[in-house]
Amino acid sequence: MPEAPVPDYPRTQGVRFTAAGLRAGYVRTIPVGLGVSLFGIVFGLVAGQKGLSVLETGLMSALVFAGASQMLAMELWTSPVPVLTVAIAALVINLRYFMMNAALMPWLQPVGPLRAYGSLFFTADENWAVSVAEMRSGGRDAGFLLGSGLAIWTFWLTATLIGRTTGTIIADPERVGVDFVGTAVFTFLLVRMHQGKGDWLPWTVAGVTAVTAAEFLPGFWYLILGGLAGSIAGALRDVR
């Protein structure tokens, strides 16, 4: 049975891109940015141990701007640097963005290629999550995405530089539970996103696929497979 489309899902009509939206996105993402900072400090520390200079560490955080792949690169980092290996590893780990950012089309298409492709540079897991939640709740200002991306970018870059230069660390991040911050953010957004019984089929498919894939496959394949399987299951049900 076809399900009625979610009524408040944004149409491409009426999408704006304003400074006010950008500011709102930045401010709304600050709490998540603080969580990301803890991870950034750890990355900065590890980069220092691997012999990256302050400038190199900053360049990587500013240009690559993807925590998990940067951390993996540090694990693979030897002398001489395995250039191709770290580049391919980054590509594979970040494949999830291919699917995630496609889902931002309702916001990106109306604002023109420059703003769209510029905003996409600043899209990380955390601000994608905050922005997509805003989009789904009917937000029409695409500046929000860039603002939230800039928030994560500034926190990430600053934190990695702090970690690299000071070499200090929170006594024991695990003991105080801060390693849970990322999962907590996504759990919160998931709960707020729940719109009704129609979600259970795609969510169950996503969950079972992801947990199974995480058991048997390396890296981030579980994210890609879980996200793909769940969203396709939901779409097949709705459109059939």
* Residues between 127 and 186 with contacts to other proteins, criterion CB under 8 A: 129, 132-133, 136, 174-186
Closest to other proteins by CB, 20 or 59? 59
Find the binder of other proteins among 16, 18, 71, 97 (CB under 8 A): 97
Find the binder of other proteins among 55, 75, 78, 167 (CB under 8 A): 55
Helix axes 67-76, 83-93, angle to 10 degrees: 150
Residue 91 sits in the site that holds other proteins (CB under 8 A)? yes
**Looking at 13-21, 65-73, 150-158, 162-170, which segment touches other proteins (CB under 8 A)?**
65-73
Q: At residue 124, what is the residue type?
A: A
Contact 73, 57 (CB under 8 A): no
Closest to other proteins by CB, 19 or 59? 59
Closest to other proteins by CB, 21 or 182? 182
Closest to other proteins by CB, 18 or 228? 228
- Which single residue is written with the structure tokens 């701007």? 65
Find the binder of other proteins among 84, 114, 197, 218 (CB under 8 A): 84
Residue 54 sits in the site that holds other proteins (CB under 8 A)? yes
Give me the 3-32 binding string for other proteins, x by CB under 8 A, dash otherwise: --xx--x---------------------xx
Q: Which of residues 194-233 bind other proteins (CB under 8 A)?
A: 194, 199, 202-203, 205-207, 209-211, 214, 222-223, 225-233
Q: Smallest Cα–Cα separation from 159: which of 145, 173, 142, 174? A: 173
- Which single residue is written with the structure tokens 């000071």? 166
> From the CB of 25, what's the least distance to other proteins, in Å?
14
Contact 143, 21 (CB under 8 A): yes
Residue 235 sits in the site that holds other proteins (CB under 8 A)? yes
Total residues found in the chain within this entry: 240
User: What residues contact 240, with CB distance under 8 A and at least 6 apart?
Assistant: 2
Residue 88 sits in the site that holds other proteins (CB under 8 A)? yes
Q: At residue 120, what is the residue type?
A: L
Residue 86 sits in the site that holds other proteins (CB under 8 A)? yes
Which is it for the CA torsion 33, 158, 98, 114, positive or negative?
A: positive
Burial of 66 (0-12, 13-18, 19+ CB in 10 A): buried
Give how far Cα 239 sits from Cα of 5, 84, 117, 127, 232, Å. 10, 42, 30, 29, 10
